Amino acid sequence: MAFISTRGGGPVSAPEAIVRGIAPDGGLYIPVSLPGLARADFDALAAMAYPARAARVLGLMLDGFTEEELLPMARAAYSRFADPAVAPVKKLAGRRFVLELFHGPTMAFKDMALQFLPRLMTASARKQGETREIAILTATSGDTGKAALEGFRDVPGTSVNVFYPLGGVSAVQERQMVTSQGRNVHVTAVKGNFDDAQTGVKALFGDPDFIAEMNRMGKTLSSANSINLGRLAPQVAYYLSACADLLSRGEITWEEGVNVCVPTGNFGNILAAWYARRMGAPIRRLICASNQNDVLTDFIRTGVYDRRRPFHKTMSPSMDILISSNLERFLWELAQGDTAQVTAWMDSLKRDGRYEITDQQKAMLKDVFYGGCADDARTAVAIARLWREEGCLTDPHTAVAFSVAEDYRKETGDEAPMLVVSTASPYKFAADVAAAIQVPVTDDAFAAAEALEAVTRVPAPDQVAQLRSLPVLHTRICEKDRMGEAVLAGFTE
Ligand SMILES: *Cc1c(COP(=O)(O)O)cnc(C)c1O
């Protein structure tokens, strides 16, 4: 199967798309065609352990990789997950289910893909004849950085440099990053905000002197960004896996199917659900849940994408986003492969901060997607109700999804089974979760986690206690225009 760019370039093989990350024309790589799964294929998936399911799905999606070679990679990728099912589906009242994606080493769903990506990337590089070390450079607002550090930690032939805004991430997130272990990991705090760090990384990718210096050191640059095909494909696997579980347990029928509600920021996770649907998963509507940053809600309801609005800092920070980069892949579908149209929309977004799709495209979009949002007050109410009424402790991102799933049922009367995607452990955001269920807390995130565990008796992941005692290994701070020097210093120390 070949991959082409949403802006017209290509086609390239899966290994090439994974090594490149973004297409040279600035577009995102999309599959020219997708494999189809029949009912019996879901029965087969249900009989397998999670790594075998992932290897089967990725073997179907990625040309140049066989299921046999993917299986040991998948086993290694998911060996550090606390739940043996890796991505378990749990049942709640009212035909609702939760897909738990937070049992990996960093307690957020990004591990599902970022534990796999380094293995896909090194294998892809070998297939491409690349012998240099792959040096990953990433800016993070919190969750991605730690997931990348854990994913690439001690992976031969790679190194990873993460930049985070000094004072711009949560206490737990900062502690997770500065205590990172591994011979090939580097963490630097940037004096600036997330945009400064992001702009700095982008500048390094375009800096010929820096690239030449890296090449002299035997390194080539790459990115672990969520637009990488190697992050998207492992996400498709867990939707097919969840549907296989629900079908085999008799919780859903092939005919009726299941609605899926995803807490959304960059549109990567929900896009994977859409690909799973295209590959034959019995998924009905895709419910896109946003926090107060409701640019996607408006887009799905009106067909106008308009980023010119205030940016809100919320208690679900991983969804505080106004430009959802993975949406470009769905726009290509809406435009039915018209890459000039996609390019025009993206130019218009850059130039005017907005674009609008046609009436026919609006109808196509609404046929599959429903968009809704919940602010912090409603999120806190959802956390409290889920805990009080169902004994289900949820993090703020997941609680946004529960709120919107309820709105969807009220507004449409569609009472079909509902799968809500849970993207983080409540302990990663313990202070806000504790406050929402009225556990008295101080500002200290670790004290909040202890109090939450004492009151709820929901066991905290081992990482929480470990984080407190791990030594701080990374103390480098740099000016926002000196990030290249920080990278080189890290390599020569
Ligand atoms: C990254 C993240 C999201 C948003 O996922 P997208 O793929 O960017 O839409 C939601 N919840 C959590 C906890 C995250 O870390």
The closest residue, in CA terms, to atom 2 on ligand 1 is: 318
The closest residue, in CA terms, to atom 11 on ligand 1 is: 423
With a cut of 70, which residues of the chain have pLDDT below it? 1
Burial class (CB in 10 A: 0-12, 13-18, 19+), 163: buried
Burial per residue of 236-258, b for 16 or more beta-carbon CB atoms within 10 angstroms, e otherwise: bbbbbbbbbbbbeeeebeeeebb
pLDDT for 140: 86
352: tokens are: 């005017």
Known catalytic residue at 313: no
Least Cα distance to 373 among 400, 396, 394, 413 occurs for 400
What is the DSSP pairing of strand 369-373 with strand 283-290?
parallel
Whole-number Å distance, alpha carbon 273 to ligand 1 midpoint, is 13
Whole-number Å distance, alpha carbon 182 to ligand 1 midpoint, is 25
Phi, psi of 411 (to 5 degrees): -70, -35
Q: Could you give the C-alpha distances from 435 to 175, 241, 416, in angstroms and in order? A: 21, 34, 32
Give the atom of ligand 1 at the shortest distance from the alpha carbon of 321: 8
CB atoms under 10 Å from CB of 327, counted, come to: 24
* Under 8 Å between Cβ of 268 and 226: yes
CATH class of segment(s) 87-110+230-428: alpha beta
- Domain boundaries along the sequence of the chain: 87-110+230-428
Q: 3-state class of 213 per DSSP?
A: helix
Degrees, nearest 5: CA angle 385-413-99: 50
pLDDT for 1: 58
* Under 8 Å between Cβ of 34 and 275: yes
Give the atom of ligand 1 at the shortest distance from the alpha carbon of 110: 15
Q: Find the length of the chain.
A: 493
Give the atom of ligand 1 at the shortest distance from the alpha carbon of 142: 15
- Ordered DSSP codes for 336-369: TT-HHHHHHHHHHHHHHSEEE--HHHHHHHHHHE
Cis peptide before 11 (omega within 30 of 0): yes
* Under 8 Å between Cβ of 32 and 2: yes
C-alpha Rg value of the chain to the nearest Å: 21
Cβ neighbours for 333, distance < 8 A, ≥ 6 positions apart: none
Catalytic hit among 90, 91, 110, 219: 110
Q: Residue 394: CB within 6 Å of ligand 1? A: no
Burial class (CB in 10 A: 0-12, 13-18, 19+), 390: middle
Whole-number Å distance, alpha carbon 361 to ligand 1 midpoint, is 26
The closest residue, in CA terms, to atom 1 on ligand 1 is: 318
CA–CA separation, 121 and 117 (whole Å): 6
From 318, 328, 398, the mutation candidate for ligand 1 (largest count of ligand atoms within 8 A of CB) is 318
Q: Residue 59: CB within 6 Å of ligand 1? A: no
Whole-number Å distance, alpha carbon 423 to ligand 1 midpoint, is 7
